[in-house]
Structure 1
Amino acid sequence: MATSNLDSSSSSSLATAPLGVSRFHHTPYYCEENVYLLCKKLSEDGIAKSDSSDLYVIPLWHQKASHRADGVILWDYHVICVQKRKESNLPHLVWDLDSSLPFPSPLATYVAETVRPSFQLFSEFQRVFRIVHAPIFLRSFASDRRHMKDSAGNWVNPPPSHEVIVAEDGTTHNLNEYMEMSSVDVVKNIGADTVDMVSTQKLGVLVSESKLEELFSQIPDNS
C-alpha cells in the first residue's frame, strides 16, 4: 500500500487528467458518508498523505433548497473534499463525487464554476463553508442515518451497504453538529488563529465564499 504523496509530475497531471469516479464509493444522497470514505481511499491509495493531513472536508451550505425556472439548484447542503498541495506551482484540488466538472478539479476552477461567487443570490440565501481537517473528521464524525428516515421510520432514499459510521469515542450520530451554522460564527478575517482552529477544532471553522481560497492559501504545509 502506497503511503506517500504523488510526485510533482503526477500531482500536476491530476489537475488536468480526471480520475474515474467509479474508483470511489458513492451512494446518492449520502454525501457526508461518501466523502468520509473518499478521504480514506485517497490516503490508502497514496493520492493523499497516509494520515490524511493534506485533506479538508467542506460541507457546502445554503439556508434553503430551491428549484428555479432557470435550472439553478440551491441545495440545503453538500460535502466535498479539498486536497492542499505543498508545491506552490500546483493548484489545490477539489474532489466532488457529484460534480460534472473534471474529477478532481483545481480549487479556483471549482469555486468559479460551482460556487460562482459572482452569481447574485436572493437575499434570503447565504453560502457558508465549514472547513474541517480530515484527520479530525475521520476520528470524530458519526452518522446513524436517522436524517434519511421519514416520521414512520422508512428510508427516504436507500442507505449505503456499508455499516454506519461510528466515531472513535463511540458517538453514533453527530451530523447535526456539522449542520448547525450561523452567520454570526463566520470568520471575518483569516489569521493565524483561524488556521489553528482548522487544525485543532472538531468542527473546524466557518468562512464565507469570499474567504474560502484565502484560507487555503494561508494553511501551511506540515510535511
Structure 2
Amino acid sequence: MTAVERITPSRENCVYTSCYCEENVWKLCEFVKAERTAPLEQLFVVFVSNDKRMIPLWKQKSGHGNEPVLWDYHVILLQVRPQSESLVYDLDSELSFPCSLRLYGAMAFRSDRHIRPEYHRKLRVIPAESFMLKFASDRSHMKNPDGTWKMPPPPYPALQTAECQMNLDDFISMNPAVGWGTVYSLDQFLHTYTGNPSTTLICSSLS
C-alpha cells in the first residue's frame, strides 16, 4: 500500500485498552472528530460477529503463528475514501495501521467458503457519527460473577449517553431488525467496500 495521510495518532500513541476494542474504536472516532483529520462521513465502525459469537480472525496480536484467534466479536474502524482504497484501522492487528481493506480482507478475514457455517462472519457497519451518539457501555460484560474484572477497564469513565447506560449487545447482534447500521455477510461487505470479495483459501483447522 502506498503511503497514506494519517488521520489518527500512530499506533503506539492511540488510546488503547486490551479487550475493549469497541471503546478503542470510539476513541479513534473521537480523535478524528476533534482534530478534523478527515470528514467524519468517511468513517464507519464495523462490528464483526455472528449468531454463535464465534468468529475467527487472523493476524491478531494475541494469535500464535498462522492460527486464527476466535473472538466472540471484534470491532474495527473503516475509512471509505473517494477515488481511493478503503482503509482499516485495527489496533489489535499485526498488519499495518492503517491497512488497505483488500489486504486486511485477504490476510485477516480470509474467506468463509472453507470453514464450518457456525464460524461464518457477519459485519454490522455503522456510520461513525451514529456510533458516537448511540453507543453505551457500562462494561458489565467484562465483569466476573463476583464483580472482579476479567480484564482491567480503560482509565477514563464508561462511554454512556443520557438515555442509555448499556446497549453493546445491540451492536454485536447480527439481527438486522435491531440496532443501527447495515448487516452484511463477509462477501457482501467485501464486495460493497472493495468490489472484490476475497477468495483466499484458509487453513483447515476450522473446516
1:19 Cα deviation from its structure 2 partner: 6.5
Residue identity in the other structure for 1:81: L
Percent of aligned positions that are identical:
31
Q: Does 1:41 align with 2:31?
A: yes
Give, in whole Å, the separation in 2 of the partners of 1:70 and 1:114. Answer: 10
Q: Does 1:99 align with 2:93?
A: yes
Q: Does 1:205 align with 2:199?
A: no
Find the residue that maps to 2:117 and give its secondary structure: coil
Give, in whole Å, the separation in 2 of the partners of 1:70 and 1:108. Answer: 19
Q: Does 1:58 align with 2:46?
A: yes
1:91 Cα deviation from its structure 2 partner: 0.7
Residue identity in the other structure for 2:19: Y
1:63-86 deviation digits (Å, cap 9, x = unpaired): 326899962222111000001112
Which residue is 1:181 aligned to? Answer: 174
Give, in whole Å, the separation in 2 of the partners of 1:103 and 1:29. Answer: 18
1:173-219 deviation digits (Å, cap 9, x = unpaired): 1001112224xx49xxxxxxxxxxxxxx951011011111333369x
- Which residue of 70, 75, 78 maps to 1:74? 70
1:141 Cα deviation from its structure 2 partner: 0.2
Q: Which has the larger radius of gyration?
A: 1
- Worse overlay, 60-69 or 90-99: 60-69
Q: Which sections of structure 1, spanning at least 5 residues, go unmatched? A: 1-11, 187-200, 219-223
TM-score with structure 2 setting the length: 0.79
Give, in whole Å, the separation in 2 of the partners of 1:138 and 1:118. Answer: 30
Q: How many residues align?
A: 186
1:40 Cα deviation from its structure 2 partner: 1.2
Q: Which structure 2 residues correspond to residues 104-143 of structure 1 after superposition, within 5 A? A: 104-117=98-111, 120-143=114-137
Q: Which sections of structure 2, spanning at least 5 residues, go unmatched? A: 57-62, 196-207
Q: Structure 2 vs 1, CA of residues 213 and 172 (structure 1 numbering), >3 Å: closer, same or farther?
A: same
1:8-33 deviation digits (Å, cap 9, x = unpaired): xxxx62289x9620221000000010
Give, in whole Å, the separation in 2 of the partners of 1:140 and 1:21. Answer: 26
TM-align CA RMSD: 2.9
Residue identity in the other structure for 1:59: F
Residue identity in the other structure for 1:206: V
Say if 2:55 and 2:119, in contact at 8 Å, map to a contact too.
no
Say if 2:49 and 2:173, in contact at 8 Å, map to a contact too.
no
TM-score with structure 1 setting the length: 0.74
Residue identity in the other structure for 1:101: L
Q: Which structure 2 residues correspond to residues 14-33 of structure 1 after superposition, within 5 A? A: 14=4, 20-33=10-23
Which residue is 1:215 aligned to? Answer: 192
